[in-house]
């Protein structure tokens, strides 16, 4: 689908051009890092371990996102494999980042003999918030959007976005795109997912952590279920999903991850694996 009259999508600094897509991702990464440093002393962790791991985790996360995308879009690269390295042309998938960072974190904490539950609790909330920021990169690129909004006419569809969803005009205008039948208004699914992620962060960070039965490390189960549920339903609205035959890959992976999150929560409670209350720990009521 071709874009129509997009907002300015980059900042020029001399000969250097910074894409807003990259800027949105960078803001998300820096916010996640700031949040982690804010929490590192509460969880009694070494900031140096966080710094080292964050740098390597970032590299592996980007590589994982690219590799995942290339695998499912192989037909686009098979005739000119070198273009798979052209990451500046776009093509990243967050599920690839999740898998790559998860694998890296497991081996990183094992090698340094660190507490994986604490590191999960340290990193996952910021990871979800960063995803919320990152989706705004899709806004500037006019991608990751859904199908036509409901309405019997063009004016009715614009009214749906402005009056029913109460979206500001700058978002509505950016959702005015060329489709199969010409210019029309499309669902801003990037926004739906961004809001879902931010809401999940708020619940995890400001609500669940006030509950004494919330254990350090429960952020993983909550993340896998919350993000996957939102992605499963929002993905069904999108027009640019990665596909495996007739199946939207993101929906399939979301079901798997949500199942893992639920199973791990139940198993952890049953076996009482590191049953340390986050609230009691950070308030000094208990120790390891």
How do residues 103-126 score in pLDDT, each as one tens digit?
999 999 999 999 999 999 999 999
Candidate from 45-49, 70-74, 213-217 with smallest mean pLDDT: 70-74
Same domain membership, residue 83 and residue 135: yes
Count of domains observed in the chain: 2
- 199 belongs to a structural domain: yes
**What is the tens place of the pLDDT at every residue in 137-171?**
999 888 899 999 999 999 999 999 999 999 999 99
**What is the tens place of the pLDDT at every residue in 209-251?**
999 999 999 999 999 999 999 999 999 999 989 988 899 999 9
Q: 173 is in which domain, residue-wise?
A: 148-186
Same domain membership, residue 239 and residue 123: yes
Same domain membership, residue 178 and residue 246: no
Candidate from 26-30, 177-181, 267-271 with smallest mean pLDDT: 177-181
- Res 3: pLDDT: 59
For every residue of the chain, DSSP letters joined together read ----SPPP-EEEETTEEEEHHHHHHHHHHHHHHHHHHHHHTTTT--HHHHHHHHHHHHHHHHHHHHHHHHHHTHHHHTTSGGGGG-GGG----HHHHHHHHHHHHHHHHHHTT--HHHHHHHHHHHHHHHHHHHHHHHHHHT-S-BSBPS-SSHHHHHHIIIIIS---HHHHHHTEEEETTEEEEB--HHHHHHHHHHHHHHIIIIIGGGSTTPBTTTHHHHHHHHHHHHHHHHHTTBSS--EETTEEHHHHHHHHHHHHHHHHHHHHHHHT-S--BHHHHHTTS---
Same domain membership, residue 209 and residue 141: yes
Same domain membership, residue 61 and residue 23: yes
Same domain membership, residue 156 and residue 278: no
Same domain membership, residue 69 and residue 29: yes
Whether residue 75 has pLDDT greater than 90:
no
- Res 6: pLDDT: 58
Same domain membership, residue 267 and residue 219: yes
Same domain membership, residue 65 and residue 167: no
- 3 belongs to a structural domain: no
């Amino acid at each position: 689908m071709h874009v129509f009259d997009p907002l300015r999508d980059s900042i020029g600094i001399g000969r250097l051009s910074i894409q807003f897509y990259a800027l949105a991702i960078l803001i998300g990464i820096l916010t996640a890092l700031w949040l982690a440093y804010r929490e590192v002393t509460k969880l009694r962790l070494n900031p140096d371990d966080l710094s080292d791991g964050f740098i390597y985790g970032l590299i592996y996360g980007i590589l994982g996102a690219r590799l995942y995308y290339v695998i499912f879009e192989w037909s686009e690269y098979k005739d000119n494999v070198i273009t798979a390295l052209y990451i500046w042309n776009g093509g990243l998938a967050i599920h690839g980042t999740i898998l790559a960072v998860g694998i890296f974190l497991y081996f990183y904490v094992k090698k340094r003999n660190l507490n994986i539950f604490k590191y999960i609790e340290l990193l996952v909330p910021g990871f979800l918030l960063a995803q919320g920021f990152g989706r705004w990169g899709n806004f500037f690129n006019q991608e990751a959007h859904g199908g036509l909004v409901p309405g019997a006419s063009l004016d009715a569809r614009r009214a749906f976005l402005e009056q029913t969803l109460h979206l500001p005009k700058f978002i509505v205008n950016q959702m005015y795109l060329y489709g199969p039948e010409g210019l029309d208004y499309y669902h801003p699914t990037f926004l739906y997912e961004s809001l879902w992620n931010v809401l999940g962060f708020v619940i995890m960070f400001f609500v669940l952590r006030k509950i004494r039965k919330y254990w350090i490390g429960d952020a993983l189960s909550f993340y896998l279920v919350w993000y996957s549920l939102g992605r499963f339903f929002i993905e069904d609205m999108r027009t640019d999903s990665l596909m495996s035959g007739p199946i939207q890959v993101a929906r399939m992976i979301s079901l798997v991850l949500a199942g893992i999150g639920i199973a791990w929560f139940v198993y952890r409670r049953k076996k009482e694996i590191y049953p340390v209350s986050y609230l009691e720990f950070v308030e000094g009521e208990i120790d390891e």
